[in-house]
Amino acid sequence: MINIQHVYKRYHSVHALEDLTLEIPQGAIFGLIGPNGAGKTTLLRILGTLIPPTSGKVWFGDVEVTQSSTQIQRKVGYMPDFFGVYSDLTSEEYLEFYAGIQGISPRRSPRIVSDLLELVDLTTKRDALVETLSRGMQQRLCLARALIHDPDVLLLDEPASGLDPRARVEFRELLRTLQGMGKTIVISSHILLELAEMCSDIAIIRAGQLVMAGNVEQVTQSLGGGNQIEIRVLEHAEDAKQLLKAIPEIRNVFEDQNDSEVIQAEFNGDNQTLHRVLAELVAHDIPVISFAPRRAVERLEEVYMSITEGASIK
Amino acid sequence: MTFTALLTKELRLRLRRERFVWLIIIYLLVMGILGFGFLQRANVFSGGYQGYLLSQIGAQLYALLSFIQLFLIMFIAPAFTATAINGEKERQTFDLLLCSKLSAFSLLAGKLIAGLVNVLLLIAASIPLFSLVFFFGGVSPSQVLSTLIIFIMTAFVAGTFSLCCSTLIHRPTASTAVAYTFCAFWLFAYPVISFLTLGGSIPVTSRWYIWVQWLNAWNPISALNSAVSSGPGTVSNFYVFRVHLSPWVAFTLVSLVVTIILFLLSMAFVKPDPIGRFLPWLRYLGKKSEQS
């Protein structure tokens, strides 16, 4: 488990992190959410021992980061948001180089490199120069680099930025595979829906301070982003609203500002509740043409936008 | 192991580039054309020289080629080392090196050796050209050896200074400019200062004279001059703590000390938080002194 205790980070007059306290469970895919300048990269760089905190402590199990950075570096694989590659090296040479500087012997290195190229699906690009690889392939190669010394913890800073939809899906699958291998993955991203679907836990950071952390569903619910349904009717929208208000599980009913035939409602409950709501509408001859439940995680973006509105570094 | 991995990567990157082949070609062409020009001017090809005169021409040709080589080393060594560290930062690959087991020593030694291997390859490539001198005679093996040592030490000082610049200065262009300024100062400071201040009028016992002599002791031109010249007119010998040293030996020793100091300075600053990294050591030493 990673335990972050009252961490502050200041760059001259800029407060990048302020009194940040957070726990990252072992084996979790932990998402860091926040606007630009919120302090996500600073936090990841502290966890990667690239910069020390101004004050506060970060523990990896029972090892404190500033006391034993060498020990932490063995446990951590870091992938920065912007990274360069040595364009004149082939994929294999690139990974062999990082294996070498991680202290892996030349005898073991070819096997590890082959396994990692297979894991990130780049075996066919083994002899290709790194500069000829697409952005998505370079991203996967960099992930293989971060895994070269078999770290327990992966720190991924905006790993999906700049990737096309297909590459994103492949990358997400890769992360799931890694979670299955028992790695703890800390990931920062702006693509919230993907993050919500992928992460078991999230933390929302704003202006260097923690807004909320915990299980994805819990965080979204507690920030007022409960489950929602969007109902489109052909006519009788007013009757439908009255009917919905009478159902006990429906908390709030409101009309879409752009379309009077669209009704949105927040509700507590599960699929049984949804079934009952739809049956009720149909039983009262309301001409429903679409009935779209939205889970809390799907509403994460709206919640995020509302809580990070106007946020910037102090 | 980490050092070998870094060195292998650096050499792969540098030697694969086409520009390195062009550099060797241009380097040898410059030296070859100037050497040929000298022989042409000395009417060597028209014949009629006696053995004694030919050996004099051989010594002069050797001196000419050595000075050209010295200037080329001064020009090339910073080009390969002045952007070694800040270039990694600019390429955004430095953080990835910091996350590894690479120590400050291995990182700098790998970068320095890889940079200087290029210079050493150029020196090696010029050996066939230098060997032409032996057709004429007039150059002793001890002169060849001392010249080679001066070349290597010059490359090391220029390389470590440039490496130090790339560690301390954020922008590669700025570090390259500072490195070349230093090389120009190093080469020409002694001739200029001695011309301006001494002019032969300051007594040998003056403090100024001693300082300028120290500057002379670390001047590559003076050292090379002492190595390639023979007979009257050579640079004076030096006395360090009553030890008699010829200029090229004094140059080699001072250069060695300067190289070590510059390398240690680079080591202290190459990784982030230089003061913070020494704090555990200071705490440890503090505890030791408390216990005692």
Q: What is the pTM of this model?
A: 0.79
On the question of pLDDT at A286 being above 50, the answer is: yes
Which residues in B lie closer than 8 A to residue A66 (C-beta atoms)? 276
Chain length of chain B: 292
pLDDT at res. B173 = 95
On the question of pLDDT at B283 being above 80, the answer is: no
pLDDT at res. B230 = 55
pLDDT at res. B232 = 41
Which residues in B lie closer than 8 A to residue A70 (C-beta atoms)? 101
The residue-averaged pLDDT of B100-126 equals 90
Sort residue A174 into left (φ over 0), alpha (ψ -120 to 50) or beta.
Answer: alpha
For chain A, the C-alpha Rg in angstroms (whole number) is 23
Q: What's the first-to-final CA gap in chain A, in angstroms?
A: 30
For residue B71, the one-letter residue type is F
Chain segment B165-187, per-residue pLDDT in tens: 999 999 999 999 999 999 999 98
Q: With an 8 Å Cβ cutoff, are B93 and A84 in contact?
A: yes
Distance between CA atoms of A133 and A120, rounded to whole angstroms?
13
Measuring CA to CA, how many Å separate A41 from each of A32, A216, A248, A272? Answer: 9, 21, 44, 42
Q: Does B104 touch chain A (CB under 8 A)?
A: no
Q: Does B6 touch chain A (CB under 8 A)?
A: yes
Q: With an 8 Å Cβ cutoff, are B13 and A89 in contact?
A: yes
DSSP B42: T
Chain segment A76-112, per-residue pLDDT in tens: 999 988 878 888 899 999 999 999 999 899 899 999 9
Q: Where are the domains of chain A?
A: 2-214, 228-294
pLDDT at res. B54 = 76
Name the more confident of A288 and B239: A288
pLDDT at res. B201 = 60
Q: With an 8 Å Cβ cutoff, are B101 and A78 in contact?
A: no
Band the pLDDT of B204: cuts 50, 70, 90. low
Q: With an 8 Å Cβ cutoff, are B99 and A83 in contact?
A: no
Name the more confident of B196 and A184: A184
C-beta atoms surrounding B208 within 10 Å: 12
Distance between CA atoms of B261 and B255, rounded to whole angstroms?
10
Average pLDDT taken over every residue of chain A? 85
Distance between CA atoms of A202 and A218, rounded to whole angstroms?
10
**Positive or negative: CA dihedral A125, A130, A135, A140:** positive
Please list, residue by residue across B62-74, b when 16 or more beta carbons sit within 10 angstroms of its beta carbon and e when fewer do. bbbbbbbbbbbbb
The residue-averaged pLDDT of B237-265 equals 83
Residue of chain A with shortest Cα separation from B13: A88
Residue of chain B with shortest Cα separation from A81: B92
For residue A224, the one-letter residue type is G
Pair type for strands A14-24 and A2-11: antiparallel
pLDDT at res. A312 = 46
DSSP B170: S
What CATH fold (topology level) applies to the domain A228-294?
Alpha-Beta Plaits (3.30.70)
- What angle in degrees, to the nearest 10, is found between the helix axes of B2-16 and A91-101? 150
Note the CATH number of domain A2-214: 3.40.50.300
Band the pLDDT of B150: cuts 50, 70, 90. very high
Distance between CA atoms of B31 and B45, rounded to whole angstroms?
18
Q: With an 8 Å Cβ cutoff, are A96 and B6 in contact?
A: no
Residue A254: both structure tokens together: 């409101």
Name the more confident of B126 and B208: B126
Of residues A83, A168, A93, the one with CA closest to residue A128: A93
Chain segment A23-53, per-residue pLDDT in tens: 999 888 999 988 888 889 999 999 988 888 9
Pair type for strands A250-255 and A262-267: antiparallel
On the question of pLDDT at B231 being above 50, the answer is: no
Residues 6+ apart with CB under 8 A from B69: B31, B123, B126, B151
On the question of pLDDT at A214 being above 90, the answer is: no
Tally of CA atoms within 13 A in the half-sphere of A78 that contains its CB: 28
Band the pLDDT of B237: cuts 50, 70, 90. low
- ipTM computed for the complex: 0.79
- Please, which residues 64-83 of chain A have a Cβ atom closer than 8 Å to chain B? 66-67, 70, 73-74, 76-78, 80, 82-83
Band the pLDDT of B242: cuts 50, 70, 90. low
The residue-averaged pLDDT of B113-120 equals 90
Stretch among A110-114, A206-210, A259-263, B47-51 having the lowest mean pLDDT: B47-51
